[in-house]
Amino acid sequence: MCGIIGVTGRSDAVECILGGLKRLEYRGYDSAGVVTADANDLDVVKRAGKLENLVRALDDNPLASQVGIGHTRWATHGEPNDRNAHPHTDPSGRVAVVHNGILENYQELKASLGDVRFASDTDSEVAAHLAARELERMDEPDLLLAVRRVVAQLRGAYSICFVAVDDPDTIVVAKHEAPLIVAHADGVGYCASDVAALIDHTRDVAALLDGQIARITPDGVDVMDVDGTPVEPHRFHVDWDLDAAEKQGYDHFMLKEIHEQPQAVADTLLDRLNAPPDGGPARLHLDEMRIDEHELARIDKVFILACGTSLHAGMIGKLAIEHWAGIPVDVEVASEFRYRDPIVDPHTLVIAISQSGETIDTIAAASHGRDQRAPVIALCNVVGSTLAREADGVLYTHAGPEIAVASTKAFTTQIVGCLLIGLYLAQVRGRMYASETEDILTRLQQIPAAIEQTLLLDGEVRELAERYQDTNYTMFIGRHAGLPIAMEGALKLKEISYLHAEAFPAGEMKHGPIALIEPGSLVVALAPAGHVFGKMVSNIQEVRARGASVLAIGTDGSTADLKEHAHHVLTLPEPPNELAGSVLSVIPLQLFSYHIATLRGEDVDQPRNLAKTVTVE
């Protein structure tokens, strides 16, 4: 995720900013930049790649000022290169901006500026242009007022910071659905996306709430709403050490990432409908779809290729595409696909799913498909990654950097991505009315709140983990969308707790696996509400009759049967639809493996023998 630090009132502002950016490195980024302000001009230095590149550029071109803002960028719109790195300025160099988040209506806003040249491919740059236009219109230019007017036009998620030559001591910031901290200490004003950047300077900080704007000067920080009415931010004292600050108070990155899922899913769903200029019905769009819609409409077969967790998301993708778009789909382990002779032709679509976009097996499998002239769509979390670059179309999962080896937020956003691809293929094939697509998308917007509610199960899950932490073998069973979740639950447990765990289609139990059940075995049964619920209840009875302890995952309103047969039931909120429910069902399983692993004293974030990105075969 991008990082921000702004400073006003220090003679060593640039060093302070670089120190802050260093503290934010753990969040992951692909470029970095800094702007300083004085009454004559703004100076911007930015570089793709690691912070060292920026430091070297600043050695060649030192900046000195008491005011500046620094940024580390995790690309969402536009390749990770020098041009797209933040800060961005308007063409006259009057205003500079850094931004975390996604401006949903940036294309509309760009169009409102008329024939203006943009220097980057980002959504963020438009905010600098808009602020400069507001300043131009004022007899007495006032950056705060200009920003209030700009913010009133923005839609989407943002923590955004502005400086301008008109008001060079001042940084103006605004927040909506992306974190922003402000502080004032010893005659210096600060802002940052994360307390880790400020911890060396002050521990008394204030978190802006959604809709709040702050003017930061060496004299203090004024917080207001968009109308200029003074409001109170959330003030707090930071007593965490630096390690905890980087994890924002969580004990591990994995836990932090589990809790970031509401935001990650919301960001993945953001800005997906385009209203055409001719006023026709809104259409779903993918980020970088370079495949002609007519070509996609002629697709008669899909291969979804991925590894590990991404493969499990792909299994939900199969259900979505077959259900909505009516195209047959095979889901295959990428490392197997590339070594056989799959029947692929130009009417076959390959969908390659990878969080990192650098998994060699997935990249090679996708090119095996492309060599046979199949178009390739990448579902990826890292903008500009190899897979995304080589694919013909890309849908980004906007989950932000995932640091823990065990994938959590990447998985749930991949599921959402798969649902979007299913709807998109249905759209291009004319299998759905535009109003239906819009209706499903609108209902999917309920998922982030439902995840929040599901996370409240944490206490109950921890108690179960305490009870079952020494269970040597756990069997996960599920049907339909519950099967990939059962497989993901087993993978999570293996990965970080090193306990044996396996997943089976519940209907296969009687064909062999049920022989493994003996008194004391633990069976985790995925039994959310849906068309296979009754079958799952029967499967639960079968394993219970053979002595297993059963933990069932069910849905609010349909757990009566489960409570009768399972020893423990975790109740999920009702999802917007059956497939989207899989995003909720996996969350207690992520928490379960997390707690078991920590109770067993394992290194949750860096489990043995595993790497975050597998770039070798």
Sites of contact with ligand AGP (CB under 6 A): 307-310, 354-356, 359, 362, 405-407, 495, 613-614
CB of 469 to ligand AGP, least distance (A): 20
- Residue 4 tokens read as 């921000």
**Shortest Cβ 407–ligand AGP spacing (Å):** 4
Contacts 24+ apart (CB under 8 A), 49-54: 51/18, 51/21, 51/22, 51/25, 54/18, 54/21
- Residue 393's DSSP bridge partners are 289, 377
Q: What is the CA radius of gyration of the chain?
A: 25
Q: What 3-state DSSP class applies to 568?
A: strand
CA max distance for the chain: 82
User: Is 2 labeled as catalytic in the residue annotation?
Assistant: yes
Identify the DSSP state of 230. B
Question: Residue 586 Cβ, how far from ligand AGP at the closest point, in Å?
Answer: 11
Q: Enter the DSSP assignment of 123.
A: S
Q: Least distance (Å) from ligand AGP to the CB of residue 212?
A: 36
Exposure string over 268-287, b if 16+ CB within 10 A, otherwise e: bbbbbbeeeeeeeeebbebb
Q: Is 52 exposed, middle or buried (0-12, 13-18, 19+ CB in 10 A)?
A: exposed
- Written as six digits, the tokens of 220 are 């203090």
Shorter beta-carbon distance to ligand AGP: residue 67 or 493: 493
Whichever of 24 and 405 has its CB closer to ligand AGP, that residue is 405
Quote the tokens at residue 378: 């990448």
Query: CA 299, CA 29: separation in Å to the nearest integer?
Result: 36
Closer by beta carbon to ligand AGP, 133 or else 312: 312
In the complex, least distance from residue 492 CB atom to ligand AGP, rounded to whole angstroms: 7
Contact 209/234 with Cβ under 8 angstroms?
Answer: yes
Nearest CB to ligand AGP, comparing residues 166 and 495 = 495
Q: Which residues does residue 570 pair with via DSSP β-bridges, in sequence order?
A: 553
- Least separation in angstroms between residue 75's CB and ligand AGP is 16
Closer residue to ligand AGP in complex, CB, 356/582: 356
Q: Which is nearer to ligand AGP, 288 or 495 (CB)?
A: 495
* Minimal distance, residue 607 CB to ligand AGP, in Å: 8
Nearer to ligand AGP, 310 or 427 (CB): 310
Assigned token pair, 466: 């305490």
In degrees and rounded to multiples of 5, residue 541 shows phi and psi of: -60, -40
Q: Determine which one of 2, 191, 380, 418 is catalytic.
A: 2
Residue written as tokens 């570089």?
Answer: 47
Q: DSSP string spanning 50-105?
A: -HHHHHHHHHHS----SEEEEEEE--SSS-SSTTTSSPEE-TTSSEEEEEEEEETT
CB 231 within 8 A of CB 225: yes
Burial class of 389 by CB neighbour count within 10 A (0 to 12, 13 to 18, 19+): middle
The alpha carbon torsion through 27, 29, 31, 37 (nearest 10 deg) reads -30
Q: How many other C-beta atoms are found inside a 10 Å radius of the C-beta of residue 567?
A: 16
In the complex with ligand AGP, the residue whose CB is nearer, 65 or 359, is: 359
Strand pairing class (500-505; 522-526): unpaired
Which residue's CB is nearer to ligand AGP, number 522 or number 586?
Answer: 586
As a whole number of angstroms, the distance between CA 453 and CA 558 comes to 17
**103 and 129 Cβ atoms separated by less than 8 Å:** no
Minimum CB distance to ligand AGP, residue 352 (Å): 9
Residue of closest CB approach to ligand AGP: 308
Q: Which is nearer to ligand AGP, 238 or 418 (CB)?
A: 418
Give CA separation, 441 vs 270, 280, 482, in Å.
Answer: 10, 17, 22
CB of 592 to ligand AGP, least distance (A): 14
In the complex, minimum distance from the CB of residue 67 to ligand AGP, in angstroms, rounded to a whole number: 40
Per annotation, catalytic residue among 110, 494, 535, 612: 612
Instruction: Give catalytic residues, as residue numbers.
Output: 2, 612
